[in-house]
Amino acid sequence: MMQCLKPNNASILELGLGENQITDHGATSLATAIGHKGCSLGSLDLGGNELGNAGAEDIAVALQKDDCSLNELDVGGNQIMDCGVQALGAALPNSSLLVLRMNGTDIVGQEKITNVGAKALATGLTESCHLKNLALSNNEIGDVGAKALAIAIAGAECSLKELDLSNNCITDTGAKAIAKTLTSEGCSLEELHLGGNQITDVGINALALSVKSNASIKIVDIDAHDDISDDARYNLKIAMIGRNAE
């Protein structure tokens, strides 16, 4: 596999290795390859493997190398804990990544990203980061992490267009923080996914009010099974229809 990524095989642009049994050892080898001059790999899917913090840290180092051309990375569904997420967050400003997927799973014992990891990613987003799409569904991010991400995407240095926080532990407090961000002139978010959290009518109504003054938002997704009244859903739907009709 590593031979295929060497300069004489630079035509490989996408590599899908999801749902295998790749460990930190394999991740380290891949990291060496993608940081090598001449490797033109743009997309790497390592989701659903057995990567841990060490593998994430090695990939983070590779992402910051001048010769790394990777712009899409999926490392969701692994065994990466917050310290591994912190390494990836720190690498964001110095990388060419446009898409980062770190979705969790429903597997018992699977490591999840918490507020600590979310705050680390938020820090990376505030430092001239190029990232456009951040997927963090099925984790254990709460209001503290949601607030940190909200502050980050409100900044002029953040160019994030799509944020997936579905199936986490966010309540109305986090939803209201995100809603406040949507009213910020610096926010360029176009898609927001919040289904499967602990958000009630209070949070949804706050989002409905905020999207009216947002120039970029096109989609605010809430799961059909959430404990949200029909009235709140209607308020958000009407707000989005009015927004998208402009």
State both tokens at 162.
């799509």
Q: Which CATH number fits domain 112-241: 2.40.50.100, 3.30.200.20, 3.80.10.10, 3.40.50.1970?
A: 3.80.10.10
Domain assignments of the chain as residue spans, ordered by start: 1-101, 112-241
pLDDT, residue 36, reads: 86
What is the strand order of the sheet 133-135 is part of? 14-16, 43-45, 72-74, 99-101, 133-135, 162-164, 191-193, 219-221
Please, what CATH class does the domain formed by 1-101 belong to? alpha beta
Report the sign of the C-alpha dihedral through residues 177, 142, 22, 28, in that order: positive
Residues 6+ apart with CB under 8 A from 150: 174, 177, 178, 180, 181
Measure the CA–CA gap between 85 and 139, rounded to whole angstroms. 12
Question: Which residues partner with 135 through β-bridges?
Answer: 101, 164
Measure the CA–CA gap between 115 and 146, rounded to whole angstroms. 8
Q: What share of the chain is helix, strand, coil (3-state, %, to 5)?
A: 40, 10, 50
pLDDT, residue 97, reads: 96
pLDDT, residue 110, reads: 85
Query: Would the pTM of this model clear 0.85, i.e. be above it?
Result: yes
pLDDT, residue 2, reads: 54
pLDDT, residue 214, reads: 87
pLDDT, residue 10, reads: 54
Domains 1-101 and 112-241 agree in fold: yes
Helical residues (DSSP H) of 127-211, grouped into ranges = 143-153, 172-182, 201-211
State both tokens at 130.
């190029």
State both tokens at 35.
């940081």
Mean pLDDT by 10 residues, the chain (246 residues): 54 92 97 89 97 98 95 97 97 96 89 96 90 97 98 90 97 97 92 96 96 90 85 94 68
